[in-house]
Chains A and B, each alone.
Chain A
Amino acid sequence: MIAGHRPTRLSSGALVIGLGILLAAMVAGVLIGPADLTFTDIVGAIGERLGRPAAITDAQRAILWEIRLPRVVLGGLVGGMLGLAGASYQGAFRNPLADPYLLGVAAGAGLGATLVIVAVGPVSTLVPIAAFLGAMAGVGATYVLGYSARAGRSAATLILSGVAIAAFLTALQTFVQQRNADSLRAVYTWILGRLSTVGWHEVLLSLPYISVASVVLILARRHLDVLALGDEEAGTLGLKVSTVRGVVIVAASLGTAAAVAVSGLIGFVGIIVPHTIRLVVGTSYRLVLPLSFILGAAFLVAADILARSAAAPTELPIGVVTAFFGAPFFAVVLRTSREAR
């Protein structure tokens, strides 16, 4: 066919490059840390699992399988989900500023986590569940308010409802936090986001939700391209606009709630990752959605390496790292791209 006479689709080249970047970030994530673990040790440990004896110590084995790898995998899951959810929200609302925390997910999760930390302390088994329930309650309240509005069921009404619900839940959260000064530090640490894990617990907790949400969102990529024409034109092309928007918002919110539950509030990933991809490869959601997951995952794994090692032995909050390095990087991409889209 003639050049340009093909639809925009994710090329195998772009996919291989994306996955290569993710793999490099994950290998670096496993290698870098206070205890020495070499590439040979990792290869040996993997070979050992496949039945080939290797010369590694019990400590190295435990560091790899129970400390570093779960944390890298969790970073990948959370970063991928936040990137994908951000891109999906931007498509569903046709708004470049939409981010995964738009509809009260963050405020709800914050309130849920704060209540548990204040009542029983920072118990690692309870906080994620409370944060998840709080996030879903926040989105649910936004939906109920948005769809009961007299102004009608528009995307703008839903965003405004999200603003109102988020403000209200944040006010409650701040109130509870200020009344319990002794747990202030634990609450604050949670809110700034971190990827500290207890073995594979957090991965197993969030994996089902993130998998389902991601599959649904990736399947909706063609519909988001149609939706780029606006509700009216998309409707005259036969798209069930409210159904598509509803499915995308529910899936993105569910996945975000699961990600937030195990990692706290990590900002900026859902904005800069999809926009960087748009500036480099184009705006079609057939490219933006899958690449937002892959590169969102790589970005957060890399940010976590910095969070762990920049001020070692103390850890920086990962939300601070994503913003501190992400914002200048995004500014450079914005300046050097041929045209701002």
Chain B
Amino acid sequence: MIRLSLTEVTVRYDQRAVVDAVSMDLSDGEWLSIIGPNGAGKSTLLATVVGLVGHTGTVTVDGQTTLRRRTLARRIAYVPQTPQRPPGMRVFDYVLLGRTPHLSFLGVESHHDLEMTAEALALLDLTDLAGRDVASLSGGEAQRVVLARAIAQEAPILLLDEPTTALDIGRQQDVLSLIDDLRRVRSLTVLTTMHDLTLAGQFADRLVLLDGGAVVAEGVPTDVLTPELIRRHYAADVRVLEDGDGSLTVIPLRRGPHRSPTNLPE
């Protein structure tokens, strides 16, 4: 079953196409990761899906193309690259904000909403932090709290913009494993953007390589993470190692002096 479908989606800033006729489908339960160099349009594409950016073309969610804001928020939970953490707001209250799309304009949270919040906190092992100020959390804790808010939202589709930004290597693995677990436990469909190609290849079922706003390659990681494609679109020299189990490791190589992009005097 197709959960999320993009058809010829184009975003223009002034005359320049930042996202250029992108089409893609996400099946139920799939993890698709968008990769590509800086400025490729990855984050803009995610923002377009949740209606933050005006676009042409169609975004179809569960077969429907025109969804009101609140209905869309019940289908898609979106975690931006740097979520706001308002100083003074407690973790419990922050996660409770995930229930917003389930409340009417003048409604207040019911017992059920509080239970869903407590459950999301427990699922992400945050129960002990419930009373803390969100602004005082470490990077790893904050990322878990933001995920808890997305889980409390109870949306079947999870959009994550660079979920491992500013995390150390251990926390990166923690967060991505956690997302993978949540995907299985809650049968979520996941769409992420990612910088780290090795992690993208290890966790996503499918990759879409974006360059200049357009899709230039897509498929399973072994099809997309090739030294040729990476050289062409990232202007990077890499070696790709394949393990016996099919998982890939992308290793950057040190460039020779003749390949340096600058022309420093000798």
| Closest residue on chain B to residue A279 by CB atoms | B88
Q: Number of A residues whose C-beta is below 8 Å from B?
A: 28
User: Given A2-B127, A5-B127, A7-B114, A238–B87 Cβ distance below 8 Å?
Assistant: no
Q: Is the CB of A238 within 8 A of B84?
A: no
Does B90 lie within 8 Å of A8, measured CB to CB? yes
Shortest beta-carbon distance from A315 to chain B in Å: 39
Contact of B72 among A222, A238, A240 (CB under 8 A): A238
The listed residue (B80, B91, B92) touching A232 by CB distance below 8 A is B80
Does A230 sit within 8 A of B, measured CB to CB?
yes
B83-136 interface with A by 8 A CB criterion: 83-84, 86-93, 96-98, 100-101, 103, 106, 108-109, 114, 117-118, 121, 127, 130-132
Which residues from A are CB-within-8-Å of B106? 219
Min Cβ gap B167→A in Å is 20
Is A341 within 8 A of B93, CB to CB? no
**B70: interface (CB < 8 Å):** yes
Asked whether, in the complex, the Cβ of A228 is within 8 Å of the Cβ of B84, the reply is yes
Which residue in A4, A219, A230, A283 is a CB contact (below 8 Å) of B92? A4
Q: Which residues of B contact A3 (CB under 8 A)?
A: 131
Closest to B131 in A: A4
A6, CB-defined interface residue at 8 Å:
yes
Q: Enumerate chain A residues within 8 angstroms of B232, measured Cβ to Cβ.
A: none
Shortest distance from the beta carbon of B236 to any chain A beta carbon, whole Å:
31
The answer to whether A225 and B92 have CB atoms under 8 Å apart is no
Question: Which listed residue, A4, A237, A239, touches B98 by the CB 8 Å rule?
Answer: A237
Interface pair B109/A5, CB less than 8 Å apart: no
CA of A5 to CA of B91, assembled, Å: 9
Least Cβ–Cβ distance between A239 and chain B, in angstroms: 6
A1, A238, A278: which has the most chain B beta carbons within 10 Å?
A238
Q: How far, in angstroms, from A228 to B118 measured CA to CA in the complex?
A: 21
B residues 36-71 in Cβ contact with A at 8 Å: 47, 50-52, 69-71
Complex contact A8–B74 (CB within 8 A): no
Q: State A3–B127 Cα separation when bound (angstroms).
A: 10
CB-CB under 8 A from B70, the residues of chain A are 238
Complex CA–CA separation, A6 to B153 (angstroms): 18
Report whether A7 and B92 are in contact in the complex, using a CB–CB cutoff of 8 Å. yes
Report chain B residues within 8 Å CB of A2. Answer: 127, 130
Question: With A3-B131, A4-B130, A5-B118 in contact, is A230–B84 under 8 Å at CB?
Answer: yes
B66 CB to nearest A CB, Å? 15
Docked CA distance A240–B114 (Å): 23
Query: Of B73, B109, B132, which contacts A236 at CB under 8 A?
Result: B73
Q: Is the CB of A229 within 8 A of B97?
A: yes
| CB of A226 closer than 8 Å to a CB of B | yes
User: In the complex, A43→B91 CA distance in Å?
Assistant: 48
User: In the complex, what residues of A have CB within 8 A of residue B50's CB?
Assistant: 235-236
Q: Is the CB of A284 within 8 A of B93?
A: yes
* Docked pose: A25 CA to B103 CA in angstroms: 38
- Contact, CB under 8 Å: B69 / A238: yes
B78 at the interface (CB under 8 A from A): yes
| B100/A226 in contact, CB under 8 A | yes
In the bound complex, do residue B97 and residue A237 qualify as a contact, i.e. CB atoms below 8 Å apart?
Answer: yes
Residues of A within 8 A of B153 (CB): 237
Q: B159 — nearest CB in chain A belongs to which residue? A: A236
B86 contacts A4, C-beta separation under 8 Å: no
Chain B residues, Cβ within 8 Å of A53: none
Task: List the A side residues contacting B100 at CB < 8 Å.
Answer: 226, 237-239
- Please report the C-alpha to C-alpha distance between residue A97 and residue B151 in the assembled complex, in whole angstroms: 34
- A4 and B90 in contact (CB under 8 A), knowing A235-B51, A237-B100? yes
Is B109 in contact with A7, judged by CB distance below 8 angstroms?
yes
Q: Please tell me if A66 contacts chain B, counting CB pairs below 8 Å.
A: no
> Are A283 and B96 neighbours in the complex by a CB distance under 8 Å?
no
User: With contacts A7-B114, A235-B52, A237-B73 known, is A228 near B80, CB below 8 A?
Assistant: no
CB distance from B231 to the nearest CB of A (A): 35
Q: Is the CB of B69 within 8 A of A282?
A: no
1/0 per residue, CB under 8 A from A, across B155-198: the answer is 00000000000000000000000000000000000000000000
Residues in B neighbouring A226, C-beta threshold 8 A: 97, 100
CB of A48 closer than 8 Å to a CB of B: no
Q: Which of A1, A7, A235 meets B93, CB within 8 Å?
A: A7
A222 to B99, CA, bound (A): 11
B88 touches A282 (CB 8 A): yes
Partner of A341, one of B80, B83, B88, B130: B88
- Taking CB atoms, residues of chain B closer than 8 Å to A222 are 103, 108
Chain B residues near A284 (CB-CB < 8 A): 88-90, 93
A340's nearest neighbour on chain B, judged by CB, is B87
B97 x A238 contact (CB < 8 A):
no
Contact of A283 with B87 in the complex, beta carbons under 8 Å:
yes
Determine which of B72, B83, B88, B92 lies in contact with A6 in the assembled complex, contact meaning CB atoms within 8 Å: B92
Contact with B along A201-239 (1 / 0, CB 8 A): 000000000000000000100100110111011011111
List 6 additional contacts besides A6-B92, A229-B97, A236-B50; criterion CB under 8 Å. Answer: A2-B130, A5-B127, A5-B130, A7-B96, A232-B80, A236-B78
A-B contact pairs, 6 of them (CB 8 A): A5-B127, A225-B93, A228-B86, A237-B101, A238-B101, A284-B89
B interface residue numbers (CB < 8 A to A) = 47, 50-52, 69-74, 76-78, 80, 83-84, 86-93, 96-98, 100-101, 103, 106, 108-109, 114, 117-118, 121, 127, 130-132, 153
Q: Which 9 A-B pairs have the closest CB atoms?
A: A4-B131, A283-B88, A238-B73, A238-B101, A238-B70, A4-B130, A228-B86, A237-B100, A236-B78
